Each structure stands twice: as C-alpha cells, then as structure tokens.
Structure 1
Amino acid sequence: MQYRLEYADLSLILALVRGGTLARAAELLLVDVSTVFRAVRRLEKALGMALFEKGRSGYLPTATAQQLARQAEQAEQALEAARVGLEQGREVLSGTVRLTCTDTVLQGLLLPALGRFMGGYPGLHLELGTSNAFANLSRRDADVALRLTTAPPEHLVGRYLGEVRYALCARADYLSANAGKDWAELSWIGPDDFMPDHASVAWRRQAFAAVTPAYRCNSLLSVLELCRAGLGLAALPDYLVREGDGLQVLQHDLPGCGNGLWLLTRPDCRALRTVVTLFEELARHIQLPRAAS
C-alpha cells in the first residue's frame, strides 16, 4: 500500500530543504536533532526512496524533495491565509500570480504601487519577472503583464492605465559645466543595439541626426544611472525622473516617444479572483506623472 503523505511530512521536508542541516531543521521545527534524523529516515523508508543526499555542506535535496518542498510552501501559505482570515474575521485571498514587466516599469511604477497595497493581502504571493516579450503571456509563462505599447495584442485582454511620456534630461551640474554649448555638442546616453527600435532612439535620430551617443546601454535603467552620474543627456520615461535625483528636464513630452501603459492578461485568467484583485489594486495604485504644463 502506498504511503500517504501528511502535512507533518511536508513540514519536515520543507524545514530540511530550508535549513540544509539537521541542526537548522531542528531549530525550525522546534525539536531536537535526533528527532529530525529519525523522522527523515522513517519517511524515506516509507516512501521507498531517498529524499536527501548527505554532503559536506549538509543535506542536499533530491528533485523529489524539492518538488515536495514547493508543495509544502503552498500548503504553508494557504494555512497562514486561513489563520489570518480567522483573526480578521473575513475571507483572505490566497494564491500565486506570475507578473511580468520591463525592468524600468518594475522599478519606476510597479514596486511603489505594490508597497501601497500588498500588506493587505498576506495570502497573495507574486512571482515577478522582467521581460519585454508579450509571448510570456501567450506561452503561459506569466498570468499578468504590465506593458508599454500603443497596440496591445488582440488575443490579450486588459486595461489602459495611462500615457507614458519621455523627457530629455541631464544633471544640473553637468549642464552648468557645459554652459553655452548646444545640446548636440554634449555627450549623449542611449540604448544600444539591443533596443534598436526604441522610441527614444528614433526621436534622437530625427531631432539630432548628427549625434552619436558617447554611452550606449542595453537597459534603460543603466541609461538612467549614467545620466544621474552626470555623464550626459538622455531621453527618459517621465516616471523615472523624480524630484531630488539631481536631474533637470530640458524638454518635456518628446515627439513620437509617447506610449500607453497597459495591464494585460489572458482571457482564461479573467475568472481568477487573484488576477481580478491584482488588476483592481494596480489600476488604483500605479501613479503616472501628470503631463507638464
């Protein structure tokens, strides 16, 4: 007869995976080392397979143990959500949502928004990934995407959150040190060939055709950091330009660089309470800068 796993078995496996040693697992489980040792041996015998390999650094989980540990984490999260629900006297939303966005959207818009509401959802867990590809949703690698686009794919559903504009910026002290020079004579910072079709690249080539960037980066976050370091001019999305970072805006709302910010998901995810709740909260808490007057 096949052994029937209990929650205590999953807790044991999870503790040893997290701790890596019998001593640390015993601390997590609030028992002594010998109890953990005997429990692991008894469980492996009942299952008819090894769950851990003893190495110099401690106990190394097999693929089976890692899979069981992930399932144990899900059970742990569900139990915690149930406890919180009882304490608060209400139903608690629980589950995991996989969310993808670009690195700049993550840093400039998503993380500040999550900080405003995620504390109210202790049972809701997010797996965050950075990518520019809509295919993530199509391949079911993610459930929700925050994307900058003027035309979201028709096979996805979602909500338009607002317009993102670009501004030409530089550090104030860099501009002071180069006072009297035309913008085209200054050092420019921009995306490299990794983003050849980026809107800011197209704008620069049209507005300043003779300019060759002195610095090229494969990430807009890197472009931002070089600009903040006082190395030159850069076209940046307005949500990355903040008061107190030393940047001065030379030109607002660069022509042809505007983009829409969309919150997107697959049609089959619309019935999931976790996705619907995340949609509503992100739409409420993501704050895009207002257009300059």
Structure 2
Amino acid sequence: MLIPGCHYRLALTQSILAFTQVINAPTHYRLDYPDLSLILALVRGGSLARAARLLQVDVSTVFRSVRRLEAALGQPLFEKSRSGYLPTNLAQALAEQAERAEQALEAARIGVEQGGEVICGTVRLTCTDSVLQALLLPALARFMPAYPALSLELSTSNDFANLSRRDADIALRLTRTPPEHLVGRQLGTVAYRVCASTTYLRSLDGDEPAAMTWIAPDDFLPDHPTVTWRRQHLPGVVPAYRCNSMLSVTELVRAGLGVAALPDFLIGENKGLTPIGEPLAGYDTALWLLTRPDCRALRSVVTLFDELGRNLRLH
C-alpha cells in the first residue's frame, strides 16, 4: 500500500526541471536555483525591500537581478504598482514550483540530520470549523512537530464534495452514513445537548423551551441533527438567529443571545456553556475520518491519516 520514502535528489531535480518547462524563452535561458529563490522572495515579499531581507542582500542587488533575469527570459516577471511588485502569471507559476523545490530541499536536509527516512509532501485536509477548532487543532499540536517536512493545506466546509472533486485528500466529517466511495474509520459518537450561557439563563422567567430565544444553523445545513430535532419537538419555534456554521451558533450562545442544541465536544468544561437537560436521544451522530481509495498509496496521506486516528479525542 505504501510507496517508498522521498527520493530527495530526484524530487528536487524534477521540481527544477518543471520550472524550465513553464517558459519558452527565445534565448533558451536555463533557470537555476538562485533565480527561483529570487522570484519566490519577491512574490512572498511583494517589494524589493522585503525580498532583500528574505534573501539577506541589499535592495539594489534584488533590483539588478530581477532586471537581468527578465532580460534573459525575454519577458516580464513583475509589474510595478503602488502596492508593490505584482507577479505576472509566469512569475506566479514559477513561485509555486519554487515552493515545491524548497520543500524537497528541506526534506533532504532533515533526512541527512535525522539519518533516515522523512515523511514529506503536502496533504489537503477538510473539516468543519467546529471540528477544526475543538478537535483537530489539539491533535495536530500533539504530533505535527514530529513531521517538519510534512505540509498541510486546511479548508473548512460542510460537505463531501471536496473529496469527490479531489480538492482534498482527507476529510473529518460528522455523519451517520459516510459516502460509499470513500474509505475510513469511525472515531466516536457525538451527542447534542441544548445549552445556554449562565447570563441568559438568569434572564429567563421560566424554563419552557418554546418561550426561549433560539439560535440554529441556517438553510446551509438543512439536515443537521439539531435542525431535525427542533422541527420535530418544537415545531412552532422560529429561531431568532441563524448561522452557517455550528461554531458560529456556539459563539452566539456563549454571548448570551439565546439557546441552541450543540455537539458535546463544544460544550466541555470552562467553555461558558450550561447544558439544559439530557442529550437529545436518537439524534446523535458520528465523527468519521475519511479518504479516497487512491490516496491509500500516498505515504504522506497514510501517515497523517494514521496519526489523526491515534490522536483525535472526543471528550
């Protein structure tokens, strides 16, 4: 299932060769690594001064080097504007390739220092903002320092389309029925409870749920368990606040604006929320760690997948 470890020289050579294929300069100028470092520094810095600091040279050296490189390539790399140096499409493409070469070089250095194989590459991970905040970030803090050559691209969304469109490699999703075309494991069960802040509870005249101010997910999450529960048990309630994420719902409850049914991993101790009653029976869901079948051949994805399976903790 797993491919061999990173072949550092090959990866770096392939990345640099990719730069030369991006352009078709009439002079057939051959880009080298200092050229790529120059372009990347100016794209990242956005100005000659910041690029000079990144490269640890003076501003005039950066200016002359850029002019010389553009002349050699026979086409512009940057446009001067009031906001700084704006990269052309060519410079942006070269900078993206330069980052890959930079990662390959860093992986090679780490491999030499550690005297062994290094997990490297970029893995794209998607989850909801509430899962990111309460579950994923603590897990990453526990194990990511052990993988200095592994890069993550994180995105927050509420659907499975990211994996289906191959926009992501791994997904963390709250669902009872994950899509059949994905593979993974269930990490645990998530229950929901109606919660409020202490301040809001003190302002109530009674404990009748229908008379409370409700906060709920909006139509972006029409099938959310808490929405289904409210419609079945409190059909006459019209939420005063609607949000497109459960993390936003939670923040409004914490601010004392009303009550909402929240997942138990957002309720824990010292979070300023007080549960009202027992968990909503029959409306729980599960946290799934998912990936595409083709990703199981990628060592970087498999490594991150296994680490998440070991380190993600439902409270």
Question: Is the structural similarity TM-score above 0.5?
Answer: yes
Kindly indicate whether the alpha-carbon contact (under 8 Å) linking 1:203 and 1:255 is maintained by their aligned counterparts in 2: no
Given the alignment of the two structures, is residue 236 of structure 1 paired with residue 267 of structure 2, yes or no? Answer: no
Structure 1: which 4+ aligned runs deviate by more than 4 Å?
none
Deviations 1:54-74 (A, max 9, x none): 223332110110111111112
**How far apart are the structure 1 equivalents of 2:220 and 2:84?**
42
Identity among equivalent pairs (%): 69
Kindly indicate whether the alpha-carbon contact (under 8 Å) linking 1:203 and 1:256 is maintained by their aligned counterparts in 2: no
Once the two structures are superposed, the pairs formed by residues 16-95 of structure 1 within 5 Å of their partners are 16-95=42-121
**How far apart are the structure 2 equivalents of 1:227 and 1:28?**
45
Kindly indicate whether the alpha-carbon contact (under 8 Å) linking 1:199 and 1:256 is maintained by their aligned counterparts in 2: no
228, 236, 245: which one aligns with 2:271 = 245
**How far apart are the structure 2 equivalents of 1:107 and 1:3?**
48
The letter for the 2-side match of 1:282 is L
Deviations 1:177-230 (A, max 9, x none): 325432222222111222222110111122223322222222211210111011
**How far apart are the structure 2 equivalents of 1:17 and 1:105?**
33
Q: Which residue of 2 aligns with 1:281?
A: 307
100, 107, 113: which one aligns with 2:126 = 100
Given the alignment of the two structures, is residue 216 of structure 1 paired with residue 242 of structure 2, yes or no? Answer: yes
**How far apart are the structure 1 equivalents of 2:261 and 2:99?**
43
Can you give the 5+ residue segments of structure 1 that lack an aligned partner in the other structure?
none
**Deviation at residue 110 of structure 1 after TM alignment:** 1.1
The letter for the 1-side match of 2:214 is W
Given the alignment of the two structures, is residue 121 of structure 1 paired with residue 134 of structure 2, yes or no? Answer: no
Can you give the 5+ residue segments of structure 2 that lack an aligned partner in the other structure?
1-26
**How far apart are the structure 1 equivalents of 2:31 and 2:264?**
53
Distance 1:235 1:91, change over 3 A: same
**Deviation at residue 243 of structure 1 after TM alignment:** 0.9
**Deviation at residue 87 of structure 1 after TM alignment:** 2.1
Once the two structures are superposed, the pairs formed by residues 159-238 of structure 1 within 5 Å of their partners are 159-178=185-204, 180-238=206-264
- TM-score normalized by structure 1? 0.93
Kindly indicate whether the alpha-carbon contact (under 8 Å) linking 1:187 and 1:233 is maintained by their aligned counterparts in 2: yes
Computed over aligned residues only, the root mean square deviation of the Cα atoms, in angstroms, reads 1.6
**How far apart are the structure 1 equivalents of 2:94 and 2:281?**
53
Q: Which moved more, 1:22-31 or 1:150-159?
A: 22-31
Q: Which residue of 2 aligns with 1:269?
A: 295
Deviations 1:43-97 (A, max 9, x none): 1122221111122333211011011111111211222222222223332211101
Once the two structures are superposed, the pairs formed by residues 127-166 of structure 1 within 5 Å of their partners are 127-166=153-192
- TM-score normalized by structure 2? 0.87
**How far apart are the structure 2 equivalents of 1:188 and 1:59?**
50
**How far apart are the structure 1 equivalents of 2:252 and 2:281?**
23
Q: Secondary structure at the match of 2:297?
A: coil
Q: Which residue of 1 aligns with 2:18?
A: none
Q: Which moved more, 1:74-83 or 1:224-233?
A: 74-83
**How far apart are the structure 1 equivalents of 2:292 and 2:71?**
44
Q: Secondary structure at the match of 1:147?
A: strand
Deviations 1:160-187 (A, max 9, x none): 1111111111112322332543222222
**How far apart are the structure 2 equivalents of 1:14 and 1:257?**
50
Kindly indicate whether the alpha-carbon contact (under 8 Å) linking 1:227 and 1:233 is maintained by their aligned counterparts in 2: yes
Kindly indicate whether the alpha-carbon contact (under 8 Å) linking 1:184 and 1:208 is maintained by their aligned counterparts in 2: yes
The letter for the 2-side match of 1:287 is R
**How far apart are the structure 1 equivalents of 2:52 and 2:208?**
68
The letter for the 1-side match of 2:180 is E
